[in-house]
Amino acid sequence: MRTTRQLVVAALATSAVATPVIESRQAGGSIDCALIPSPFPSWSQYPVQSSLPDPFLPLKYTTTDNAAGSSTFAKDIMAGKGQGRVKTPEEWYKCRQPEILQLLQEYQYGYYPDHSQEKVEATRSGNTVNIAVTAGGKTGKFRATLSLPSGASASKPAPVVINIGGMQNAPYLNAGIAVVGFDYTSVAADSNSKTGAFWDLYKGRDIGVLTAWAWGFHRTLDALNMTVREIDPDRVGVTGCSRLGKGALAAGLFDKRITLTMPMSSGVQGMGPYRYHGLSGQDETLENSKQGAGWWSNSKLGTFVNHHENLPFDAHTIAAAIAPRALVIDQGTGDQFTDSKGTAIVAYPGAKVVYDWLGVGDKIGMSVRSGGHCDMSGFSSILPFVQKVFFGTATTKNYNDLGTYKSPMTTAFPWATAVPKL
């Protein structure tokens, strides 16, 4: 039986995409936000930071013109001694988080399109959802495929995990979680060809394919909310593995409707650190990722090639900007490609410092398992965490256990010893 329901989405009010932060100085205890530098500094205006940059330090106070002749400026800001650091969670959410979202678009992802200028239309036929997005007189089309768990209905909607590239469906369906996939190549090809629904609308813009795939997740969610009443719009996960895990991370970053972000074996430009890149795997770096797949990111990231330690962010910054929403990261110790160890002992604990400080330390988890790159067992490994987020189900599995990697590399984030006191 064919069922069709068509609606239009004109705006995404809950979008997490950043807007410029304006410096305000008001009396009465109001929050002052540091002005974002305009234009954004080039790589040469940032100091070399061999350890993870301090996530509490605004860009305004990170550039070398703050050194005032000090020979220890870089060492000081890496140790959490920079001036103007964020002092409270309120300041984080009002000032620093929006700044991070904007700097990540400037330096890595490219600027996310203005969704208020888009019209989304969706039709459902059985388990297929057809999606059309129109902007500027152009239309891009793609489709998603739906698998519902037993018992899901409009009166009892199920949480959903949207994936690209495939996942382990059965355990999730058996747990009462819907699974939706869309063809990421029809949204944006994994190449420099600029083909697919996203580029039908936005060809010519300096935007990375990871952002295009993130856009695909978001427009799929729009379509599900319009046509699939058996799905709960307030319990939504996104996932993918390897380069698709990078895309899933971007999807979670740029849309506050995403309840849980689940990057799997994601590597550099995902949860793999730019610094400490050679701790395991094939040593995936900024340089070789830009050379091999430069289309994943915008052109500005390429200006940091051979200068990755000048980047004012790293993987932990991306993760921290997702808080207070949930994030679970999966890596296999036998992954021959991505830096699983660096993800587990550097990027994850660096991000968890921020989650803990914000009072949501239980919303971030690390799954370290045996097995290789994109091993499907990773989806079973993170399922208890997913069930905790979606259903409030208690789990005995410790998602702060780094397994055979043992302990965090605390020397990678010395600023953690100077976390702002609340």
**Catalytic residue IDs:** 242, 373
Max CA pair span of the chain? 74
Rounded Cα distance, 382 and 369, in Å: 10
Q: Is 232 helix (H, G, I), strand (E, B) or coil?
A: strand
Sign of the alpha-carbon torsion through 360, 369, 234, 296: positive
Residue 129: which of 6, 212, 221, 223 has the closest Cα?
Answer: 223
Region of 254 please: left (phi>0), alpha (psi -120 to 50) or beta.
Answer: alpha
CA angle (274 as vertex; 269, 276 as ends), nearest 5: 140
Beta strand spans in 199-334 (E): 231-241, 260-264, 326-332
CA dihedral 238, 242, 244, 246 (to 10 degrees): 70
Beta strand spans in 76-153 (E): 119-125, 128-135, 138-147
Sheet strands side by side (includes 260-264): 8-9, 119-125, 128-135, 138-147, 178-182, 158-163, 231-241, 260-264, 326-332, 364-369
Sign of the alpha-carbon torsion through 31, 34, 38, 41: negative
Rounded Cα distance, 179 and 171, in Å: 10
Contact 176, 151 (CB under 8 A): yes
CA dihedral 119, 125, 129, 134 (to 10 degrees): -20
Contact 29, 49 (CB under 8 A): no
The secondary structure element, H or E, covering residue 302 is helix 299-302
- What's the 3-state SS for 32-49? CCCCCCCCCCCHHHCCCC
The tokens describing 82, both together, are: 């920079």
How many other β-carbons are positioned within 10 Å of the β-carbon of residue 410? 14
